[in-house]
């Protein structure tokens, strides 16, 4: 069975900040958007902005880091690391955040929503 999917524009590509996060409101949910740029290589990530341990919408303000080969954001509250590709909390198996597919089309940042 396949799910119907659609892409929702959340901001302009110029709204993203290199090696930092920004927050967008998507269907009444906060989403943290990250652009990691190293030399000419660029990666985009989108996760829920809700920190399930700190119980606050703060992840876009977290510090980007690598833990081994895993790209993470460390919560600004209690410093747990969340994997930007899977959403898993590296410090506690019982917690995770939602991950959204993300892309740039015609200079528009879009995330994919599954219905």
The 10s digit of each residue's pLDDT in 86-97 is 999 999 999 999
DSSP class of 46: E
Residue 1 lies in a domain: no
Q: What is the pLDDT of residues 23-74, one digit of tens each?
A: 999 989 999 999 999 888 999 999 999 999 999 999 999 999 999 999 999 9
Residue 32 lies in a domain: yes
pTM for the whole structure: 0.92
Residue 57 lies in a domain: yes
Residue 113 lies in a domain: no
Residue 13: name the closest of 113, 114, 104 by CA.
104
CATH code, 98: 2.102.10.10
Overall domain count for the chain = 1
Please give the Cα distance from 13 to 42 (Å, whole number).
12
Please give the Cα distance from 53 to 43 (Å, whole number).
26
Residue 67 sits in which domain range? 12-104
Report the Cα 12 to chain-centroid distance in Å: 16
Q: What is the pLDDT of residues 1-28, one digit of tens each?
A: 345 578 999 999 999 999 999 999 998 9
**8 Å CB contact between 80 and 95:** yes
Residue 52 lies in a domain: yes
């Amino acid at each position: 069975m396949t799910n119907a999917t659609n892409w929702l524009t959340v901001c302009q590509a110029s709204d993203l900040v290199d090696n930092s996060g920004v927050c967008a409101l998507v269907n009444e949910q906060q989403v943290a958007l990250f652009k990691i740029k190293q030399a000419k290589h660029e990666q985009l990530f989108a996760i829920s902005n809700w920190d399930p341990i700190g119980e606050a919408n703060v992840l876009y303000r977290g510090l980007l880091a690598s833990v081994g080969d895993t790209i993470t954001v460390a919560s600004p509250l209690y410093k747990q690391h969340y994997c930007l590709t899977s959403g898993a909390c590296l410090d506690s198996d019982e917690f995770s955040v939602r991950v959204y597919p993300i892309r740039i089309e015609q200079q528009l940042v879009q995330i994919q929503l599954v219905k």
